[in-house]
Amino acid sequence: MKNFFRSLLATACLATISLVVRAQANLPAAATDTARIVLPARIITPVSLQSYETFRAAVQPLIKQMAGKKVVAMGEGTHGTAEFYKARFWLTRILMEEHGFDQLALENTYGDTYQLNEVLQKGDDFKPLMPKTLLSIWQNQEMAQVFSWMQQRNLTHQHKVTLTGIDAMFSGADVDLLQKGLATSGCADLQALITQLRQSSQYKDSVWYQLSNPAYKLSRKKLFAAALAGHDAADKLLQALPTARLSRQQRTVLINAATNARMAFDDFYQVKVNKRESSRDSVFAEMTRLLVRGKGQRIIIWAHDAHVARRGVVPGDNNGGGTGAFLERMFPGQYFVLATATASGSFAATTQNFISPASPMAAYPLPQPKAGSWEASLAHASSLDFYFFTKQLGAQDQSPNPSCGVV
């Protein structure tokens, strides 16, 4: 599991005591403050994960605070926790059915997720596409239930809900979107840029797939050259797209794809040009900003607690979380974040350091909660499944001592 600061940097936290967890996760770091945080019974609201209607009634205070926001993030202490999926699915369903939210964004590459969404919108069988378009952490029956609900809802509602992605690990699917979209635009001069972008994307994507192989020998020189050429091609496409012969909808999608492709190379560009490390969390935030630039658009984000946090896990680490900090600045007062956590159970993780759609997952038991951690405190709560608002915590529980997880 990722590490939290003791000061839980979320607006609310949903917790369960005993879970079966399916996730990509790291073990907890040792706590520096072992005093147990006490959760007063008065701030805890029990929920039932056995009945949607019972759950819906119990979370109305939570929904009331979420409903008026432009961006609602629902974090996960570990990727793929079955109960976390169920709770977030039901919260998402309420926000979409009753409060006008129209997009669900995953911690997944934009282009790949767009392809999956196209199948969802057509009402076709989406399951064969899940292993090709989703990181392995999302390839589970809980997500399939979410997608089935989205499909069924869209069949009977004029206001469609869509699936999208805010990550930029891979860019091959972005290139596919650009090539297909520009094929009839009459911009023959852009094909050379597409060709270069595809070459760079294929090389970088293949490197990412192989990085978890100890025998793989990386050529940093070739990778940097390919990445910088790809960044340049994507940047030039972004400059050309505003005047290309495209419909408004096409232009929006292609700008999203080109932006996402450029972001896939941003870590190399920043190191080479600006001598600094790129921030994956700023990528998440920028993609979110693009996806809600239309009038009335609102979005729900599913990502790790560390990403949706208002503060990074490790000070000075540009990839240590904190998408929420960027979103707070972009949308002042319009960002709500929910954290999720558990005290015990088992989880599925990949041993690969560089996750991809092909990463194998296996089940492991969660370690005993560290003394002073949030998990240890949750284990002593009066309810099995519950939520609470972090602003109701006492001052003694808001010291910035790292213990177990960040939101």
Residue 36 has pLDDT above 80, yes or no: no
Report percent pLDDT > 70 for the chain: 86
Return the structure tokens found at 1: 């599991």
**Residue 19, H or E segment:** strand 12-20
Looking at residues 341-367, what average pLDDT do you find?
87
Return the structure tokens found at 316: 């000075």
User: Parallel, antiparallel, or unpaired for β 71-76 and 103-109?
Assistant: unpaired
Average pLDDT in the chain: 87
d(CA 134, CA 120): 14
Under a CB-based contact definition with an 8 Å cutoff, are residues 399 and 29 in contact? no
Looking at residues 295-319, what average pLDDT do you find?
85
Sign of the Cα pseudo-torsion (279, 4, 387, 348, in order): positive
- Residue 24's pLDDT is 34
Residue 212 has pLDDT above 60, yes or no: yes
* Fold observed for domain 172-274: Four Helix Bundle (Hemerythrin (Met), subunit A) (1.20.120)
Confidence of residue 398 (pLDDT cuts 50, 70, 90): low
- Please provide the DSSP assignment of 326-370 as one string: HHHHHSTT-EEEEEEEEEEEEEEE-S-SS--TT---EEEEPPPPP
Residue predicted with more confidence, 387 or 317:
387
Residue written as tokens 């206001």?
159
| Lowest model confidence (mean pLDDT) among 10-24, 282-296, 385-399 | 10-24
Looking at residues 221-226, what average pLDDT do you find?
97
Confidence of residue 56 (pLDDT cuts 50, 70, 90): very high
pLDDT tens, 165-180? 999 999 999 999 999 9
d(CA 81, CA 202): 32
Domains of the chain, by residue range, sit at 12-101+298-397, 172-274
- Residue 377's pLDDT is 81
Confidence of residue 393 (pLDDT cuts 50, 70, 90): confident
- Residue 39's pLDDT is 80
Residue predicted with more confidence, 309 or 71:
71
d(CA 211, CA 217): 8
Task: Collect all residues with Cβ–Cβ distance below 8 Å to 353 and sequence separation of at least 6.
Answer: 211, 212
Under a CB-based contact definition with an 8 Å cutoff, are residues 68 and 95 in contact? no
Task: Collect all residues with Cβ–Cβ distance below 8 Å to 26 and sequence separation of at least 6.
Answer: 1, 2, 3
- Residue 320's pLDDT is 58
Confidence of residue 396 (pLDDT cuts 50, 70, 90): low
- Residue 25's pLDDT is 36
Residue 19 has pLDDT above 70, yes or no: no
Return the structure tokens found at 219: 């050529």
| Lowest model confidence (mean pLDDT) among 62-76, 149-163, 260-274, 336-350 | 336-350
Looking at residues 152-176, what average pLDDT do you find?
97
| Distance set, CA 118 to CA 38, 212, 292 (Å) | 47, 31, 19
pLDDT tens, 99-118? 999 999 999 999 999 999 99
Confidence of residue 34 (pLDDT cuts 50, 70, 90): low
Closest CA to 111 of 255, 236, 230, 209: 255
| Lowest model confidence (mean pLDDT) among 12-21, 54-63, 84-93, 171-180 | 12-21
SS (H, E, C) 360-373: CCEEEECCCCCCCC
DSSP letter at 185 equals: T
Under a CB-based contact definition with an 8 Å cutoff, are residues 8 and 305 in contact? no
Return the structure tokens found at 132: 């090709």
Return the structure tokens found at 227: 């990445």
pLDDT tens, 340-349? 988 778 877 8
Number of residues written out for the chain? 407
Under a CB-based contact definition with an 8 Å cutoff, are residues 404 and 26 in contact? no
Task: Tell me the one-letter amino acid at 17.
Answer: I
DSSP letter at 235 equals: H
Residue 1 has pLDDT above 70, yes or no: no
